[in-house]
Amino acid sequence: MNVLKGMVLFFSLSAFFSTLAMATDTKVDISVSDYSILDQIVAENYLDQYTVLAKADTADATAEGAEGDKALSEECRSFANQPDADLGEVLKAGCEPSLEQMSKLMDNPVGNVAMLFTQFDYYRLKNDENNEDAYKGVYMGIAQFPKKLNKNWSLINRVIWTVPSVPLDQDKIDDAGGGDYGNMPGAITPPSDAAPINLFDGRTTGFGDMYYVGLFSPAEGIKFDNLEGNLVWGAGFDLGVPTASEDILGTGKWTAGPSALGIYLGPKWKVGGLLQHYWDYAGDDDRSDVNLSNLQTIYYYSLNETTSIGAAPNVIVNWEEDSDNRYTVPIGFGINRTFQMGKVPVRFGVEFHYAVIRPDDIPGTDWDLRFFMIPAAPSAMFDWMN
């Protein structure tokens, strides 16, 4: 292209000198103003031809860019048609994961995805001793993110905080001589000789205890020859921190214990569970001991790529109670769907859980209505997770 520009300049100057020579041979008197006119003609001629060349350069660059965009869009379309595509590779190629890909990734509780759970449970508590009932609300936030340890293993981190609102008045409990109504997820667990809940009209709301769950999980799940899906799993530990703003809102104990997760992820069914156990090892000596298991059962059926039905209720076993008051076993049903909110996929869901088994002599959960919202992002977007 530079050679062509040089040729244009050469021919333009040649035309100028030819014109000048002709003027000299014919003895024509050319003034300074005439030279200015000739200069303007030559300059305009050069500018016109240079503009043509510049437009040609721009057209070439545009064509090259269009070819690049076409190749990129074809690659992105190819990724979009692969539900199991590596989202790290998708992002490296300059493409955005599809909503279907993100929804499938969110189905995997040990997948390479960062999620922020915003969950609200509304419990109906029933006291069979006097046939009284009351209501308890719990906001629970869960920040879940993976940390890749090496090419074969990741640590799945869950940081959990709670804001309970219980139908008991802390001041009235204190005035009545106290009573240890320890608060664990999904239940109020008072000692067997505690006063029934209808004696304490009022409500206490505030910050609850915090928990951490760490699960070591392999990069590859277990595949079965006779099934299309695979089993993902993780094993680790949990920690509880007594951060409650009022006694009634927490256990008053530092707790720890083992955790394990296993879920079968099939083309349609997602079935499994997350088991956590808590023992206390320090804290307020005046508070009751903690020896409690929490099994979150998980069963969902996919109606399409972004919509599922099913539930994930929590089975609570308080080993400090006698056999009649030890178990809370719910079953449930609900629906959830993943939507695209701008560039962020967000899952919304609602579930109803009913306790088919609950404590006989102390207040226990009769039913639970759960709402949740979960925005998510691929962990490949965050260097510190990788």
Between 38 and 88, where is the model more confident? 88
Q: Is residue 291 assigned to a domain?
A: yes
Q: Is residue 347 assigned to a domain?
A: yes
Task: Taking residues 230-247, report their average pLDDT.
Answer: 95
**57-71, 156-170, 287-301, 345-359: range with lowest mean pLDDT:** 57-71
Give pLDDT, residue 96.
80
Instruction: State how many domains the chain has.
Output: 2
Unique residue bearing structure tokens 């000198």: 17
Between 83 and 132, where is the model more confident? 132
- Its domain, for residue 33, covers 2-80
pTM for this entry: 0.74
Could you tell me if 253 and 180 are in contact, meaning their C-beta atoms sit under 8 angstroms apart? no
**132-141, 211-220, 259-268: range with lowest mean pLDDT:** 132-141
Map residue 181 onto helix, strand or coil.
coil
Average pLDDT of the chain to the nearest whole number = 79
SS3 content of the chain, % helix, strand, coil (to 5): 30, 45, 30
Q: Is residue 85 assigned to a domain?
A: no
Map residue 375 onto helix, strand or coil.
strand
Residue 140's nearest CA partner among 114, 156, 157, 116 is 116
**13-22, 177-186, 311-320: range with lowest mean pLDDT:** 13-22
- Going by pLDDT thresholds of 50, 70 and 90, the confidence category of residue 73 is confident
Task: Taking residues 248-253, report their average pLDDT.
Answer: 92
**Boundary (domain end) residue, out of 23, 45, 80:** 80
Q: Is residue 95 assigned to a domain?
A: no
How distant is the alpha carbon of residue 184 from its chain centre? 25
Q: Is residue 91 assigned to a domain?
A: no
Helix H or strand E encompassing 17: helix 2-25
Residue 52, burial from CB neighbour count under 10 angstroms (0-12, 13-18, 19+): exposed
